Structure 1
Amino acid sequence: GGDLEAARKAALDAAEKIKEELKDAKMVFLTAGLGGGTGSGATGIVASICKELDILTLAFIITPFEWEGTERLKRAEEGLKAIKEYVDSLIIIPNEKLSKLVDENTHATTAFDLADEILINAVQGVSQIVNNTGYKNIDFADIQAALKNKGKAIIGMGTEEGEDAAMKAAQKAISSPLLEETSIAGASNVLFSFTGHPSNAKFKDFDTMGRKIAEMVSDKGGKPSEINFGIYYDENLPENAVRVIIFATGFERKVQDLLQKTKDVFQTKQPTEAKKIPPYPISKENQAEILGYSGENKEDKNKAAYWRFKKD
């Protein structure tokens, strides 16, 4: 119903249950559509709990259409500010882009499925990398190093066949037109996997793709601090096919810049100032610095968000 406070309260009341469900998790994918009450109000609380439990957390956030109105856009902005404080990596998918990507004959379900595909590819990508054994493996520690505390992220998967399959698959992996950003230029960390058929996984294809990725990253003059990779074989792939999964994080533009860009995209003629929401600080054991804390009671700084809210 668009009630942020009710959504926050519901999440706070369920905090212990959420902690119990997440206690053994190594990685959490949070997905939320912002603008209503639940996504904008509760997701930040869940993200703070994940941070408290030191769980690697990746958020997929869908922002409203411009025509949904000032109030929904304002709630989306509030929710995004809360979420970005606690997630390790953030992928923003603006619904507004749908209207520019689909034609007049596209079914509504098909259009919204485009956003779901980004999430599915990311989850499948992590699963395939971690669970498969290859010539050179990527383990969960590598994924954690690439995503932990990195902010803006691009994650994608592409499969292509035929000539230049590796290059085409890599381009497909990072070029979803629905993403808030569609270039890996400026990323400081890149992790990619190269998967081919055992009989036809050519070194030249892999090497050319790796060099091209490095070139794309440094397109804005920067150089990546690290590019890590894995090489895998899959007998179920066609002999002339290549599958590429790419994680790019640590962009030069920080999350605050993304917030401003998102705000600019949805700016109305008479913008309404967003209501300032309380921060969600967590214990110093899991966070070196509490960002945005404005509480008057300094003793509360070491308490998790849900405990600080619960006592009121």
Structure 2
Amino acid sequence: VAVVTKPFLFEREQKMRQAEAGIAELKKYVDSLIVIPNERLLVGLDKPLTMIQSFALSDDVLKTGVKSISDLIVEEGYINLDFADVSTIMKGAGYAHMAIGHGSGKEKAKEAAEAVISSPLLETSISGAKRLLINIAMSNDVLSSDVDAATKKITDTAADGVEFIFGTAFKDDMQDEMTITVIAAGFGGDDFDKDIDNSDSEETADTAKTSSGMKEEVISVDNPLLSSLGLNNDKSKNNNSAPAETDDDLDAILKMLGS
């Protein structure tokens, strides 16, 4: 499984071409590939980011994606998931899609499921996926009906007859809330040969055109989870270490994203 990022627009066309070439080569050696377009991380922010903060956010989101997959395997759950389950979904999958959603209060199931299905960070959705792995981390007070509502909303978005693996875990530090992690794959045909629509930005469309004809699948990271994982404290960011005085600013921005 490979998780990669694509450059910010300010890195311009040469960096994008290099990234596309690297992805085209990498896909020869992996079962599944998750692509994060960095530019999507900046969508909808109330406060502009410095360059250091932009790279720091990209690194934190990348770490969150990798850690979320590994946590599914190594952390013990109530309905446990293991390496075999993750392998079933991701082996030979081509492009894969990962999303994380969080909800709390009365509408927690709806909020978490909708965050998984659609997000400002996504260029694609889980629509039509033939394989789904869903893990729900929740407080002890979550009702069975909430779990049913969340899983139904997600599986209804996927293909008919979707292969569905389900896991749960109870978290003592949660109260009236749930966090859903979804890995989706099996979008039909040779997933590495599908194109993606980058029409939301003319510049993005121009820089994304390559001979590989790739289709991106994007990680959607629920920002409250990002903060709770404590991944925003790493000082090494794409070989651009943030000065100590920027740490508080980055923390504030990540909290703002999660609000």
Q: Does the TM-score normalized on the shorter chain lie above 0.5?
A: yes
Query: What corresponds to 2:187 in structure 1?
Result: 251
Query: What corresponds to 1:214 in structure 2?
Result: 155
* Structure 1 portions without partners, runs of 5+: 1-57, 276-312
Alpha-carbon RMSD across the aligned residues, in angstroms, is: 3.1
Structure showing greater relative contact order (alpha-carbon pairs closer than 8 Å, 6 or more residues apart): 2
SS of equivalent residue, structure 1 residue 61? strand
Closer, same or farther in 2 for the Cα pair 1:131/1:80, shift >3 Å?
closer
The one-letter code matched in structure 2 to 1:250 is: G
1:144-293 to 2 correspondence within 5 Å?
144-179=87-122, 181-198=123-140, 200-217=141-158, 222-238=159-175, 240-252=176-188, 254-258=191-195, 265-267=204-206
The one-letter code matched in structure 1 to 2:183 is: F
Q: CA deviation at 1:259?
A: 7.2
Identity of aligned residues (%): 31
Q: CA deviation at 1:79?
A: 1.4
Q: CA deviation at 1:197?
A: 2.0
Query: What corresponds to 1:137 in structure 2?
Result: 80
**Number of residue equivalences:** 208
Contact 1:78 1:274 in 2 (8 A): no
The one-letter code matched in structure 1 to 2:170 is: Y
Closer, same or farther in 2 for the Cα pair 1:166/1:100, shift >3 Å?
closer
- Deviation track 1:130-162 (CA, whole Å, cap 9, x = no partner) reads 233333211110001111110111223233210
Contact 2:113 2:151 in 1 (8 A): no
The one-letter code matched in structure 2 to 1:210 is: T
Closer, same or farther in 2 for the Cα pair 1:133/1:77, shift >3 Å?
closer
Contact 2:4 2:62 in 1 (8 A): no
Closer, same or farther in 2 for the Cα pair 1:166/1:119, shift >3 Å?
farther
* Structure 2 portions without partners, runs of 5+: 213-259
| TM-score, scaled relative to structure 2 | 0.68
Contact 2:155 2:162 in 1 (8 A): no
